[in-house]
């Protein structure tokens, strides 16, 4: 389980006050680039759903987590499916992107080309909602980013969402959750990929995994 002082796993129940304070520690910071050369801006968790846990004595989870058992009866539709990959499965998008395995599913880059990627086989008609990025960041001047990128093969592309550790963070293992999106998967037209992009080629910034929360079709 990844945890640190600024980013907390959604499986851990916190008081509403503590959660509000913690979510305030996710400042947006420019990351990228991926394809266009224009940096993207990572999202900020929205604090989860509101009103669902009233009277249950439970704090809301992170926005990409399913509600705890006591809340499901009152919110039966708030059930995500997940697709998760380890950083160990990511490979260079370009042949010039060297990488090395650091352990515990974490990978870091070795060269100037730092874009690692893998396919995202989400069912046709599913609705993608959130991207979660797991990382190991011990460098106070670098970060680790993740992207969901959609390609129209040979014609166009779009970075659908991104998020990253903050450049000033150096606390080690952690995760970050993107802003909410509503991408309805169209596999007849598009190919979807996951990208891990450390801002520096160093074992101090490692991509450990990416998780996509989506509503099944």
Q: Facing residues of 149 across strands?
A: 159, 193
User: Do 199 and 116 meet the contact criterion of CB atoms below 8 Å apart?
Assistant: no
Strand, helix or coil for residue 30: coil
* Burial of 49 from C-beta contacts in 10 A (0-12 / 13-18 / 19+): middle
Residue 44: per-residue pLDDT = 34
Lowest mean per-residue pLDDT among 7-11, 73-77, 160-164, 207-211: 7-11
> Of 3-7, 62-66, 101-105, 140-144, where does mean pLDDT reach its minimum?
3-7
For 119-132, what is the mean pLDDT? Answer: 97
> What mean pLDDT comes out for the span 1-26?
37
Each domain of the chain, given as residue ranges in start order, spans: 1-217
Rounded to two decimals, the pTM is 0.75
1-217 under CATH 2.60.120.260, yes or no: yes
**In DSSP terms, which residues pair with 194 in a beta bridge?**
118, 148
Rounded CA-CA distance 80/108 in Å is 29
Cα 37–42–44 angle (5° rounding)? 165
At 5 the pLDDT is 36
For residue 74, which phi and psi values (nearest 5 degrees)? -90, -15
How far is the C-alpha of 71 from the C-alpha of 88, rounded, in Å?
A: 35
Q: Give dist(CA 80, CA 92) in Å, integer.
A: 29
């Amino acid at each position: 389980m990844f945890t640190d002082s600024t980013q907390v796993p959604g499986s851990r129940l916190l008081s509403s006050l503590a959660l509000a304070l913690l979510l305030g520690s996710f400042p947006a910071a420019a990351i990228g680039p991926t394809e266009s050369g224009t940096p993207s801006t990572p999202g900020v968790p929205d604090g989860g759903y509101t009103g669902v846990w009233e009277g249950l004595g439970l704090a809301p989870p992170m926005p990409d987590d399913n509600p705890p058992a006591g809340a499901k009866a009152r919110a039966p539709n708030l059930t995500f499916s997940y697709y998760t990959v380890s950083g160990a499965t990511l490979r260079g998008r370009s042949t010039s992107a060297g990488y090395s395995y650091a352990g515990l599913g974490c990978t870091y880059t070795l060269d100037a080309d730092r874009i690692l990627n893998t396919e995202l086989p989400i069912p046709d008609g599913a609705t993608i909602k959130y991207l979660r990025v797991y990382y190991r960041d011990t460098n106070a001047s670098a970060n680790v980013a993740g992207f969901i990128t959609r390609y129209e093969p040979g014609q166009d592309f779009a970075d659908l969402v991104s998020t990253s550790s903050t450049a000033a963070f150096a606390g080690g293992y952690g995760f970050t959750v993107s802003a909410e999106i509503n991408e309805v998967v169209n596999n007849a037209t598009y190919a979807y990929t996951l990208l891990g992009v450390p801002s520096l080629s160093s074992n101090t910034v490692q991509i450990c995994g990416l998780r996509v929360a989506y509503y099944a079709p």
